[in-house]
Amino acid sequence: MQRVTVGNVEVVALVDLVQSYSAERVYAETADRLGEFTDLLEDGKVVLNFASFLLRADGRTVLVDTGNGPEAQGRLLDELAAAGVRPDEVELVLFTHLHGDHTGWALDRESGRPRFANARYLVPRADWEHYRAQTPPPNSFTRDVAPLESLGALDLVDGEHTISPSLVTLHTPGHTPGHMTVVISSQGQQAYVLGDAFLTPIDVAEPDWVTTWDWSAVPVRETRRMLLSRIEASNALVAASHLPVPGLGHFVRSEGRRSWRGVA
Ligand SMILES: [Zn+2]
């Protein structure tokens, strides 16, 4: 659990778990160039953080993404408790996208009820339509997301959706069709809750590379270019699900290379 402020907005990184993956599998298309990035790997593996972000803005309590869930022994609920927040205090749950490592704690497995009992759940419309149309839909969609409709807790959103005066969504497709970023603006400061638009520090250095988890390469690259220009123009803080723990930091440039610098 790590807390920072952006103007009047509180951003709390909640780490569900950390897991390593073979870099050659994650970057199958560019595996021959991974030797340039051994400083960003651990024994040939990419180390992924799995973070959610709690936002306190304009009197609202918003949880962005809900981690892997109980099957993965994730710690999200402990992290939330460490931040001093009860699940029933969360008013809005927003999924940046509908992959299972972002929806895992959405429902209580035993009761089938929303784990965040008083929350509306904001779901990107294009992801909802994309995964619902698959036969069969992904297990995590059927388990975590589809029930929200009949439970009456689901709100589909797309485009620029204002959550509160300081919080606006952006459609940032590529990793998935409906992927969303949350832009925080308060007292002249900005932050971007990027979801999986950039998965690893390698994506920051090489924004044209794609991972095996990305849905479509062309929009991945367009989205990253757009985000980089906005983030660099405003020197914004970045909160990203899988960048190194706690997932809070900045994109910086030095010696011709763009890199990730985590908050101290
Ligand atoms: Zn993810």
Residue 195 alpha carbon to ligand 1 centre in Å: 7
CA of 42 relative to ligand 1 center, distance in Å:
19
Q: How far is the CA of 247 from the centre of ligand 1 (A)?
A: 12
Written as six digits, the tokens of 134 are 């698959």
The structural domains of the chain, with segments of one domain joined by +, span 2-262
Q: Which of 1-10, 87-96, 252-261 has the lowest mean pLDDT?
A: 252-261
pLDDT above 90 (res 264): no
Distance 201 CA to ligand 1 centre (A): 14
Instruction: Compute the distance from residue 46 Cα to the ligand 1 centre, in Å.
Output: 13
CA of 79 relative to ligand 1 center, distance in Å: 18
From the CA of 95, how far away is ligand 1's center (Å)? 11
Q: Which residue has the tokens 């509908």?
A: 98
CA of 173 to the centre of ligand 1 (A): 14
Tokens of 233: 């123009």
Sequence-distant (6+) residues with CB within 8 A of 217 are 174, 210
The answer to whether 20 touches 45, Cβ cutoff 8 Å, is yes
- Strand partners for 195: 240
The single-letter code of the amino acid at 94 is L
pLDDT in tens, 11-34: 999 999 999 999 999 999 999 999
pTM for the complete prediction? Answer: 0.97
Q: Ligand 1 center to residue 14 CA distance, Å? A: 14
Q: What tokens appear for 74 in the block?
A: 């994730």
> In angstroms, what is the span from residue 104 Cα to ligand 1's centroid?
11
**Mean pLDDT of all residues in 124-140:** 98
- Please give the average per-residue pLDDT across 25-46, as a whole number: 96
- Whether 251 has a pLDDT exceeding 90, the answer reads yes
Residue 143, token pair as written in the block: 């388990």
Percent with pLDDT over 70 in the chain: 100
Q: How many Cβ atoms are within 10 Å of 93's Cβ, its own excluded?
A: 25
Q: What is the pLDDT of residue 255?
A: 84
Instruction: Tell how far the Cα of 232 is from the centroid of ligand 1, in angstroms.
Output: 23
Q: Which residues of 197-232 are buried (b: 16+ CB within 10 A; e: fewer)?
A: bbbbbbbbbbbebbbeebbeeebbbebbeebbeebe
Give the span between the Cα atoms of 166 and 77, in whole angstroms: 25
CATH number of 2-262: 3.60.15.10
pLDDT above 90 for 162: yes
Give pLDDT, residue 15. Answer: 98
d(CA 264, CA 262): 6
